[in-house]
Structure 1
Amino acid sequence: MPPDEQGLSLPSPDRLSNLNIYLIDDILSRLSFRDVVRVSTLSNDWQYICWRIPHVKFDQTVWKTPEDLTSPTIGFIPILESFLRFHRGIILKVTLNITSLIVCPDVDRLIFSLDTDHLQHFVLKLPFTYPPYRLPNFFFNCSALRHLYLKECEIQLPCFFKGFNKLIRLILKSVMLSSDTFESLISNCPLLEDLVLKDIDNLYPMSINAPKLRSFVFRGDIQLIYLENVPVLSNVLYAPRELVLQDEDDFVNIFSSIPALECFSWDFFEVDNGSTEVIPTRLPSALNCLKRLFMSWINLGEYLELSFSLCIIRSSPNLEEIEIKECILSDGDYFESVPQEVVDEIPASFSDITFNHLRTVKFYDVLLEEVEMQLIKVLLAKSPALVKMVIKPRQMETNKSLNVLAEITKFQRASSKVEVVYLVD
């Protein structure tokens, strides 16, 4: 302790209390509620800090033992009631993450305690129950919401709902709602920029009308989603459970309503065998804005999946980056081999295409059979700006791997600066 002018020792300054109040709130917002309470013991000035923080997070850590998870009223209700009784100030963000509970507790008390005029960020992750927890009508008064994450619950919009006029990001996971409810919810979020839909419990088509939407992540049945009005949507990730195509229009419609698409990711490809002949060589309208293409868990050696991949690549003349990751099959074989005439036609199908902006290409877990080799050959020959191509083959015998590498080194290259990186275990 530093001495004063009379030689007496003075107490050390409280560095924690001297921190900027906004910095303190930011630190506490990253902790669980239990840890926030513990932090309040570090300083006298912080004794009641947990009762004024604007960001609150309740999760499994509020239970003392695993046994408490089977009876949420042991830990959850008393702590929640204490917090609601003593808290002073405005709550901007609330997170309730209790997915590991055996049963779903009554969270209505938390919902009804929300400050509907100021709450900006709300995360509700509940355990699976049937029927699911239904959001109370009171929740839809939260006019200041900017970020909303809902998991394992049911949404029914009340008649007085006028919309979330400030909502920017919406995540719905395993949520039950009707098509009408979904469409009304989306159309009444005029500022929505980021939408994530995963495992929505609805078997009927749903339309998306979101003029400011920029990012869309979807996992489910792709035939049930219609992008009607998304003029600035630029980032899309599809992870369909299964793709069933009845005719060519079904495939074309997936992309026709996304004119501003810049980054497209396709994950976990599973296609109905009856869809083989409905994928065109190219899309009717080129994806001129598409710069980054990522495709994972596909099989280039399977006819339909190869057709899908080649169609998107041929339809995207301004690509800057391509990344393809093939799925690893337990038996090491393709589901259905590509006809030889299709393999032979790959170079000719790119005869009028030059990828003047393509700089990076990555192939991961590829078998490097004739199909993959043809695509590698085409991209090397048609990409004058290519800087790097990374090839990571699936495990193969050393002699075969060396032979493949030797063949690739002989391929014609349009770019004098391209570096081909061949990764082997």
Structure 2
Amino acid sequence: MMPPERRKSGRHRSSIDRLSNLPKNVINSILMRLPLQDALMTSILSKKWRNDIQDLVLKFSEWNRYRLPPSFFACSQLRHLTLQNCVICPPPAFKGFDMLNSLNLCDVTISSKLLESLISCSPLLEKLVLKISDTADHLQINAPNLRSFDFTGCIKYISLRSVPLLSKLSLPHQKSIEESEKCDFDKFFQLLSALEHLYLANGSDQFLVTTAAEIPRRLSSPLNYLKRFNITLRGLADFFVALCLIQSSPYIQDIEMEVYCLRYYILEKLEASNEVDEVLASFSDVTLNHLRTVQLGGVEGIKVELQLIKLLLTKSPMLVRMLIDPSRGDNYDARRDKIIAATTIQRASSKANVVVSDAYEDYRDMTP
């Protein structure tokens, strides 16, 4: 029989072995259920535990921002990270998260320089979501494996410098910024050759262009992989952006546009503009051979919208469904009748089903 002290030592050693050698998925499940401070303190028990933290979702109250402790930045095996309402200030020795695959930052405090460094020092990053309320002057994205970028916030200039695999780009509402620095519209899209899904909403072209005159009729390099295109139309420049991108996307399959208070802002300017006719005329040699579905919301029934409807119907031989929702308000019936009349034009697709109805919302989820 072993001496009592040897038996005790053996039991202790066995406990350490069982703790240290738990499967990674079990360790990660335990750590995900601990408060941040406690999870990081597990490194006292086992350095292996600290290195096995792969997923973190940290959310703090809006009125009590949390400054991440230095030990947080030692979680070298992080793969999925979500931070909300916190201050990010890494130590000087921090070199990024080598294994990080997805990063979601919502209302965080971080300088542009540190954010750029965090992104560029995460070489495996594929999904990036930024929802930043603080105004930034410039943000440069260098992420060779990035495939999805969803940005919401206030910024003067975004540079997608090195994103050769980016396939999904979402640039929602931009707050108005005086004296914003603009980038070249054509060059901006030259760097997005792999783009498949583009979402531009309320004023997202503010950091791309200033006036409609800055928008080319067609991009110098076509977007050969773009299949889905969503945009909110607020003004004349937005229409020209939409027409340019549609004309530059020979394999486009799905288009969704939402008109936002167009009549109150640019009705007279649009009705009197010859530029619209010129741009639409530039589609004479374009056929949208892959376009299958179109959704148009908030349509006012003004000239440029009706011309766009006719263009899409006559240039899309594979069109299956077009859903049109007239804007609400005064003279709704007259507006709806005008839109219906525009859809009676001879269509390139004999299978195209055109719906002009109040039930537009019921059809939105039916898009294949």
Q: TM-score w.r.t. structure 1 length?
A: 0.69
- 1:109 Cα shift? 4.8
Structure 1: gaps (5+ residues)? 1-51, 56-87, 98-106
**Pairing of 1:24-423 with structure 2 (within 5 A):** 91=29, 94=32, 108-109=37-38, 111-113=40-42, 115-129=49-63, 132-199=65-132, 201=134, 203-221=136-154, 223-242=156-175, 249-269=183-203, 274-296=210-232, 298-299=233-234, 302-328=235-261, 333-335=264-266, 337-338=269-270, 339-395=272-328, 396-409=331-344, 411-423=345-357
Query: 1 or 2 for the larger relative contact order (CA 8 Å, sep ≥6)?
Result: 2
Which letter maps to 2:188? I
Which letter maps to 1:285? S
Which letter maps to 1:333? Y
- Kept after mapping to 2: 8 A contact 1:173/1:197: yes
Partners of 1:415 and 1:150 in 2: CA distance: 48
Aligned residues: 326
Q: Which has the higher helix share?
A: 2
- 1:405 Cα shift? 1.1
Partners of 1:133 and 1:311 in 2: CA distance: 45
Structure 2: gaps (5+ residues)? 1-21, 44-48, 360-368
- 1:231 Cα shift? 0.7
* Pair member with larger Rg: 1
CA-based RMSD of the aligned residues comes to: 3.0
Partners of 2:266 and 2:152 in 1: CA distance: 23
- 1:275 Cα shift? 3.0
- Kept after mapping to 2: 8 A contact 1:319/1:358: yes
Relative to structure 1, the CA distance from residue 416 to residue 170 in structure 2 (aligned partners, 3 Å threshold; closer, same or farther) is same
Q: Alignment partner of 1:119: what SS?
A: coil
Partners of 1:90 and 1:293 in 2: CA distance: 38
Encode CA deviations 1:104-124: one digit per residue, 9 max, x unaligned: xxx645544474221111011
Partners of 2:137 and 2:276 in 1: CA distance: 38
Encode CA deviations 1:9-48: one digit per residue, 9 max, x unaligned: xxxxxxxxxxxxxxxxxxxxxxxxxxxxxxxxxxxxxxxx
Percent identity among equivalent residues?
40
Partners of 2:294 and 2:225 in 1: CA distance: 18
Q: Alignment partner of 1:218: what SS?
A: strand
Partners of 1:270 and 1:226 in 2: CA distance: 14
Which letter maps to 1:353? V
Relative to structure 1, the CA distance from residue 201 to residue 153 in structure 2 (aligned partners, 3 Å threshold; closer, same or farther) is same
